[in-house]
Amino acid sequence: MAQTLSSAANYLALLFILLCLGLILFYYFSDATREKINLRSIQAFTHFRRQVDLAVEAGKRLHISLGRGTINDLQGGAALISLTILDHCARAASNSDRPPVTTSGDGVITILSQDTLQATYRSLAAEQRYDPTNARLTGLTPMAFAAGAMPTIHDEYVSANILAGHFGTEVALLTEAGERSQSLTVAGSDSIPAQAVLFATADEPLLGEELYAAGAYLGGGAVYTASIRMQDILRWVLIGAMVIGAILKLLGILS
Amino acid sequence: MKKILPLTNAAIAIVSGSIVLLGYFFPGLLGGIQSTLLGWAIILAGFALLLGIFNLVMVHWKKVGGEGKGSINSIVLLVSLVLTMIIVSISGPAGTFSLWIFNSIQVPAEISLLAVLAFVLVYAAARLLTRSPKWYTVLFLVTVLLILLGSAPLFFVGEVSLLSSLRSWLMHVPAVAGARGLLLGVALGTVATGLRILIGIDRPYGG
Amino acid sequence: MTDIICPLCGKPNPPDLDECKYCQAPLKTGGFIAPPEGGDELDKLISPSGESGEPGEQEAVASTPPNLEQSVPDWLKQTEANFLDQSETTPSKSEPEEPGPDQISGQIDSLINQPPAHPAGQDNVIDDDWLASLLSEAGVNEPAQSGTPEKSAREPVEEPAQAPAEEQSQEEFPEKAGTSAEEPSEEEQATPALPVEKPAWLTSLEAASKIKMEGVVPPAEVHPEQPFVEEAAENAEEQPPEPPDWLKISAVEESTSTPPSQEAEPQISPAELPGWLEALRPSEAVAPTGPVEDVSNADIVTAGPLVGLRGVISTHPSAIRARKPPTYSIKLRVTDEQKARVEMMEELLAGEDKPTPLPTQPIITSRYIFRIIVAVSLLLPILWMIISGRQDAALPQTGNIPGVVNFTQEIQKLPTGAAVLVAFDYEAGFSGELNVAINSVITQLMNKNVYLALVATNPSGPALGESTITNVYSGLVGNTTTYNFYTNLGYIPGGVMGLSGLATSPRSVVPYSLTSDNVWAGAPLDAITSIEDFNAVIVLTNDSDTARNWVEQVGPRLRQANKPLLFVSSSQAEPLILPYYQATPSQVQGLIGGLAGGVAYSRSVGNFQQNGVWDAYSIGVTVSILIIIIGSVAGGVMKSIPTDKKKEK
């Protein structure tokens, strides 16, 4: 019986994933001809774009912290989103006097951030600006990672910190460092305790799944917009399922 | 070559990801390949750790060569790294000297940072209303205060059972409900991110 | 009125003077005729005879025809006669091709100015022009030319009363050429040069002439000024093709034949040039052999350092002088708003000059002071409580904290000698919060003589486990004896994948202990093939994500085998683990959350040490609440008080 239930759950999960995939592909191709898709305003991304421009104008540096989530783990989604944000920042700040610097707390993410920076500069025909030491592993434990990233915020003429990825409560140390160095901090994490901390400490916190919308808000392309639309639809599906389940439970129909 | 390599990377990523994903649903058919690929991934993750440490050394070696104000700290870091590696190599990871380094340096340092974190959070909460005088900020602060009031007996006051009950209700109902909602959103985002990479449209691996 | 420019001082003199009234230099020999005042290039183009009344020049022109006529060979005279006859007899033939006199004039000008490399069909025009100029030099003038197409073409624009000399019509071509080269008219740009019909006699003449190959109108310079003859000769040195002999003779005669009035004038002796200037001069060894560029009708520079020179680019271009600059009103119509903006802009620009000091960041700010106050307010009471070791605050009750009782019962249910997997998955920084519970749990396990298998999914876990076992055992026995009934399996890389591998096949994921022993070969781990073979799994963590990984990857197998999954967590992870504990059926069978849970568990097992930690925690929470309330109220009040800046806004 348990085996049958497990198989049913497995097939349900597969069906859910296929539904997600179908929705992404549908919106990806159907929205390809649309000129513009309106997204609700998220203040953090508005300030983020402005701050990137200001950093380039002022000849200052952008600090992008990718967190300490490994790609093999549940935090892999946040880690990959942080790479997308890194790509955008590197492109936007490619003309800046000081190239952006990244910090991370995981070896795989460090290598991927180096790869992303190199690929971005290569696509801009500015590979000579790539410096592997601009993508840094600052520590392998959360506190060591935060302690290693704090000097980067303090000492490297950083005008804006973008903390995107998997962080714990140690992210408060980074936001505090940003406040002391009078640089803007835009931060988002997939961790619930970290989001609570960021609400109190960050200049522009990204709460919930806002972090995962970064690609669409930073002009990543149609596939990111299609992902957001898929998430919106499935969110309503889940809300409906929960409400119906609760009603059935109240009525005693569902055991 | 510059065009072939990204395509190869994308093909490897798509095939590997698909096998690992389908392996969860069809363990009998793809379970073996999935285990092999996961084993490779674990080995690569361990190797990436070594590469990350090498990157750390490179960054601080560069700082030592420069004239920045952090060069002394970088020297300390490099010397500490080398000494720790030598000691742990001789003494073993569970050796007496290794544990002495761990208990005497790393644990106090991390506890101190956590203590600093406590200061930071209290300071940030005290300034929150000044920074963002909104109604939901007030709600946030009231919730924080209620949780704190119920988490420990107040000095000179003692334990207030009503506050403890209120704390328990807040933690178990609204907080968990909100967290579940956030986690559902995060899960949807993670699924979307994974699928984008799986179908090769999003390639954060330099493809 | 035309003035004569003194060759020495460059000042204009009246034409009736023989000597310069400023420097007494002779004017007739070396003087230059200044262009008429107010006259522009357009006037010159339209009426080329405008300067024909100049006495000096008339003399020069009048002196040339006899010499030139003598120099013309007989065959050319015959050719000329044939040409004139033919042109007189066939005027109607050329009319359809040349629709108007203006166009003809333009065509002639454009043809003259064509570069040497041109289609063969256009060479005829060059021949005609060359011949025309030659004829004009030879003195075949008014009667014959009036009948030619060229002459008839110019009649509308020329004043008949002035009866232009051949020289003037000859000068007109290069001048127009020069003008058209600088500013090509729209007509010239739009329409290509039409080939002029070439008479048959000229076709035969073409083969005999080498000059036509140059594509340049051979100049027959008749200007009396010696320097220009020399200059022309020097320029001609650079022309490789040899002109015909008759032309050489003519040129020699020209140079020797000077009008009587000029012969009387003293020659200007050549100046002694300095060595460096001599070196700059072109070599005089090569005699002028080729045709020279005609600069006789070029502009004379009347101002600047090149005054008096002909054919050089003037510092005051005639094109600029020709136009009278349009006059615009300098009075602007400005609205009041624009005036206000201008004033604002002027103020801004004035402020740009003033150096503004950089905003200095004061070392001691209100934030800095507030930070110090927060730190001191928190530190001092906590230190006081720890140092004094007081126990005033009420200890938490076991029944009030969910999960502790069940945790205690699950530990008590473990049989002696059972194998328990303990995961040290917390950060070293959380040792202060978790050690109260962890020490009590490990003590309980040691007392029950449970075999401990330690693992970790974070890098610092193995060291934490090792030091915890050492510290707890030394606390139990009171000496430094090593506890042996355990194994440290070390760090599991790969996060959730490593954990998944541990759940299915622990032997393959962690085959050796930290001491490199194959612990799976000996008791009690030799009976363990998968994770559900352990009697219990205890996870020590501060991270809700790590807890979720264990629940999702390991929990199902343990539930199937009815083995407990127990958690010791920090306060921050407790709310997210608690639902797994409260679920039905529960996915977590026991939970100790935070310092309160640890104290409660320690009290329940009788392992609580009175060291002032709980009182320190209590007073820390109390002070934190006070700081937050005071800070929020103060911040709200500060925000509500209108400051000067707010008033300005």
3-state secondary structure B62-113: HHHHCCCCCHHHHHHHHHHHHHHHHHHHHHCCCCHHHHHHHHHHHHHHHHHH
Tell me the pLDDT tens digit for each residue of A172-226.
999 999 988 888 899 999 988 899 999 999 988 998 888 888 888 887 778 888 8
Q: Which chain B residues are within 8 Å of C620, Cβ to Cβ? A: 118
Q: Does the pLDDT of residue C169 top 70, yes or no?
A: no
- pLDDT of C628 higher than 90: yes
* % of chain C surpassing 90 pLDDT: 16
Q: Which residue has the higher pLDDT, C62 or C354?
A: C354
Question: What is the distance in angstroms between the Cα of B1 and the nearest Cα belonging to chain C?
Answer: 32
pLDDT of residue C197: 54
* For range C263-276, the mean pLDDT: 66
**Would you state the pLDDT for residue C224?**
43
Among candidates C495, C544, C576 on the partner chain, residue whose Cβ is nearest the Cβ of A73: C495
C-alpha separations of B143 from A78, A188, B171, C309 in Å: 28, 21, 10, 97
Residue entry with tokens 């093709």 = C241
Question: Pick the residue with more confidence: C290 or B172?
Answer: B172
Q: pLDDT at position B66, please? A: 72
Chain B residues within 8 A of C618 when measuring between CB atoms: 152-155
Is residue A43 very low, low, confident or very high in pLDDT (cuts 50, 70, 90)?
confident
Give the C-alpha separation, C167 to C140, whole Å.
Answer: 11
Give residue A221's pLDDT.
79
Contact C549 A143 (CB under 8 A): no
- Which residues of chain C are within 8 Å of residue B180 when distances are taken between CB atoms? 579
Distance in angstroms (rounded) separating the CA atoms of residues C72 and C77: 7
How many residues make up chain B in this entry?
Answer: 207
Place of tokens 């930071």: B120
Contact C452, C472 (CB under 8 A): no
Report yes or no: A216 at the B interface, CB cutoff 8 Å.
Answer: no
pLDDT at C317: 57
Per-residue confidence (pLDDT) for residue A173, from 0 to 100: 94
Q: What is the mean pLDDT of chain B?
A: 85
Which residue carries 């073979």 as its tokens?
C533
Whether residue C357 is predicted with pLDDT greater than 80 in this model: the reply is no
- List A62's β-bridge partners, or say none: A160
CB contact under 8 A, C560 and A140: no
CA dist., res. C210 & res. C553, Å (int) = 103
**Cβ within 8 Å, pair C496-A191:** no
**Contact at 8 Å (CB) between A152 and A54?**
no
- Contacts of C624 by beta carbon, 8 Å cutoff, 6+ apart: B122, B148, C378
So what's the pLDDT on residue C568? 95
Q: Write down the pLDDT at residue C419.
A: 92
* Interface size between A and C, measured as CB pairs under 8 A: 40
Strands C451-456 and C486-491 come out as parallel
- Tally C-beta pairs within 8 A across A and B: 184
Give mean pLDDT, residues A93-115: 88
How close, in Å, is residue C532 to chain A by CA atoms? 17
Return the residue in B103, B141, B144 with the most chain C beta carbons within 10 A, the one to mutate for interface testing.
Answer: B103
Q: Would you call B119 and C378 a contact, using CB atoms and an 8 Å cutoff? A: yes
The confidence score (pLDDT) of residue C94 equals 42
Q: What is the dihedral of CA A144, A150, A152, A155, to 10 degrees?
A: -140
Cβ atoms B3, C458 nearer than 8 A: no
Question: With contact defined as beta carbons under 8 Å apart, do C434 and C426 qualify?
Answer: yes
Give C101-126 pLDDT, tens digit per residue.
455 555 555 554 554 444 444 444 44
Helix pair C366-388, B107-131: axis angle to 10 deg: 130
Low-confidence residues in chain B, pLDDT < 50 = none
Interface check for C497 against chain B (CB to CB < 8 A): the answer is yes
Average confidence score pLDDT of chain A:
86
Chain A contact set for B53 (CB, 8 A) = 107, 137
Which pLDDT belongs to residue C192? 44
All partners of chain C with 3 or more CB pairs under 8 angstroms:
A, B
User: How far apart are alpha carbons B25 and B14 in whole angstroms?
Assistant: 17
Distance CA C489, CA C451 (A): 13
In the predicted model, what is the mean pLDDT of residues C531-555? Answer: 91
Contacts of B99 in chain C (CB under 8 A): 463, 466-467, 470
Q: Which residue stretches of A99-161 are H helix?
A: 107-123, 142-155
| Contact list, A211 vs chain B (CB under 8 Å) | 189
Say yes or no: C130 contacts chain B, CB-CB below 8 A.
no
CA distance A110 to chain B (A): 6
Entry pTM: 0.66
With contacts defined as CB-CB under 8 Å, which chain A residues touch C560?
Answer: 2
For A118-164, write each residue's pLDDT tens digit. Answer: 888 888 888 888 888 889 999 888 999 999 999 899 888 888 899 99
Please indicate whether, in this complex, the C-beta atoms of B204 and A11 are within 8 angstroms of each other. Answer: no
Query: CB contact, 8 Å: A70 with chain B?
Result: yes
Q: Per-residue pLDDT tens for C398-443?
A: 777 888 999 999 999 999 888 999 999 999 989 888 999 999 999 9
The encoded tokens of residue C68 equal: 């030139």
Average pLDDT taken over every residue of chain C:
69
Which structure tokens are listed for C11?
Answer: 């000042």
Is the pLDDT at C566 greater than 90? The verdict is yes
- C199-241 tens-digit pLDDT: 556 655 555 554 444 444 444 444 444 444 444 444 444 455 5
More reliable by pLDDT, A58 or C535: C535
Bond into C524 cis (ω within 30): yes
Mean pLDDT of C315-327: 62
Q: What is the pLDDT of residues B50-77, one digit of tens each?
A: 888 888 898 888 888 776 666 888 899 8
Each residue's pLDDT tens digit, C435-492: 999 999 999 999 988 999 999 988 889 999 999 998 898 888 877 777 888 999 998 8
- Name the residue with higher pLDDT: B94 or C316: B94
Which of A111, A147, A192 is nearest residue B179 as measured by Cβ atoms? A192
Selected residues 87-146 of chain A with any CB under 8 Å from a CB in chain B: 87, 106-108, 110-112, 114-116, 118-119, 132-133, 135-138, 140-141, 143-144, 146
Query: pLDDT category, A247, cuts 50, 70, 90?
Result: very high
> What is the predicted ipTM?
0.86
CB pair distance less than 8 Å for B114 and A138: no
Of the pLDDT bands very low, low, confident and very high (cuts 50, 70, 90), residue C348 is: confident
State the pLDDT at residue C513: 87
Confidence of residue C575 (pLDDT cuts 50, 70, 90): confident
pLDDT of residue C514: 85
Q: Which residues pair with A65 in a beta bridge?
A: A103, A163
Q: Counting Cβ atoms within 10 Å, is residue C390 exposed (0-12), middle (13-18) or buried (19+)?
A: middle
Q: Answer whether C427 touches A (CB < 8 Å).
A: yes
Top-confidence residue, B207 or C581 = C581
Cα distances (Å, whole numbers) of residue C119 to C116, C122, C207, C211? 9, 6, 16, 17
Nearest chain B alpha carbon to C495 = B42
Q: Is the pLDDT of residue C156 over 50?
A: no
